[in-house]
A and B are shown apart, each in its own frame.
Chain A
Amino acid sequence: MTTGMLINNVLRFVLLLVAQVFVFNQIAWGWSGKDFLFVFVYPLFVALLPLRTPRPLVILLGFLLGLGVDFFSETLGLHAGALTFTAYCRPLILRLVRPRDGYNIKANPTTEDLGSGWMFRYLSLVLLAHLLAFFLLQTFSVLFLTDIIVKTLLSLPASLLVLGALILIFNPRA
């Protein structure tokens, strides 16, 4: 891991936290008194961590970022739990979307290294895991399965759209 990657990741941690808390947490759309559409951008941090990051570290960083979001959203534990789960699932998702000839040993999870199609599939799965975990923790009961599914189905395209735009704009290299 180079110093540049480290700085990049630290910056991403802070900026995504700030963006999520101050911009995207304000976006919520729904009907009959309930919100169904949310936009999550901070899972991008976990998704863009270098491929060779130790698993416990990924999980710990996910937990810390989630906790940071929680502190500003007054939902202590919700984002943290969901992002911990997402970080835990990251290796499984990476295995699912593995290119035919495996990952290059120097590859980073970026559009440049692995292609936009791979990025799209990868981010979709990361967001799916994160949204399902988050809404499950939010409703806190499988009795609200319909709510969980509706929220996921509405939030997934919205978040994916925002993440795609962010990646297009900043085009992270590492």
Chain B
Amino acid sequence: MGRLLRILLNSSGLFTFAGLQLLCLYLIVNHNDTQRQIWVETKSVYGSTLSEFISDKLAFLDVARENEILRRENAALLARIPGSGYNTAVDTIPVQDSAFQQRFTYLASRVINKSPYGPYNTLVIDRGANLGVERGQGVVSDGGLLGIISEVTPRHARVISILHLDTRISAGLDNSAFGTLKWNGRDPRRVTITDMPDYVPIAPNDTIYTTGYSNVFPSGLPIGTVESSEPLPGTGSQDLTVVLLNDPLLAGNGYIVRDLFKEELDQLNRVR
């Protein structure tokens, strides 16, 4: 304590000087216009930098609260990005033509969910019963088939992909020979057509079309090209291996095919 007092006494000149000088600076800043302006300017230039530095160094103090605020904000923002909204725009354009009555209309939809790749692939699209989607309607995608609607909710629908072991679609050549399209569960780029009569001449790279006989897809939609044919002895039929035009696993859009004559055709089928 004594030493401290001695130090204070020894530097009493310094303390007197510092105190009085601070008082002078205070008087200068408060009673002289030029100096006050310079002081205010200096304070505004360096003061913000200083306070920024200080708040930077002390930012960790309320990081938990900040984090909570940011998480809430993130949640609010995530709810607003386009992917989390349900697109209510309806993209279907019926064509008015006096010579051709409209039979099929297409409803654009987006694939919003896909099952992991396996033998039974399904997907979910963002169109449902509210827009007239029904069980059994076909879904085509850019340049090929995607699948068939199996379940419908008011806003969504589940699609059985053509890469599903239970899928059966009528497919044929442009010379009216037709068979049943299946998937054997092995190669997502290749499907098989069974029950094709073995007398029908098949050449590799022949194009396979939908036939329209199942009232699911319109006729004449290209599906794929023949890679090879294999006659099955004793059955009178042959199996065709078909390379798909599109890749259903990668499809992001689907067009739901709606058959306006479906009820009428169903009535015919009911009469035996």
Contacts and interface: CB of A to CB of B under 8 A. Distances in A.
Interface residues of A, number: 22
20 contacts: A55-B16, A56-B13, A58-B13, A59-B20, A60-B20, A63-B23, A66-B24, A70-B27, A75-B32, A76-B31, A77-B27, A78-B32, A80-B20, A80-B27, A81-B21, A84-B24, A85-B21, A87-B17, A137-B35, A140-B35
A24 interface: no
Given A60-B20, A63-B20, A77 B25 contact: yes
Contacts of B28: 76-78, 81, 137, 140
Interface in B34-58: 34-35, 38-39, 42
Contact of A141 (B13, B32, B38): B38
Interface of A: 55-56, 58-60, 63, 66, 70, 75-78, 80-81, 84-85, 87-88, 91, 137, 140-141
Contact of B13 (A63, A76, A88): A88
Interface in B1-36: 12-17, 20-21, 23-32, 34-35
A76 B35 CA distance: 11
Residue in A59, A66, A78 with the greatest tally of chain B CB atoms within 10 Å: A59
A56 B17 CA distance: 7
Nearest to A63: B20
Nearest to B10: A55
Contacts of B42: 141
A174 to B, nearest CB: 23
Contact of A56 (B12, B21, B34, B35): B12
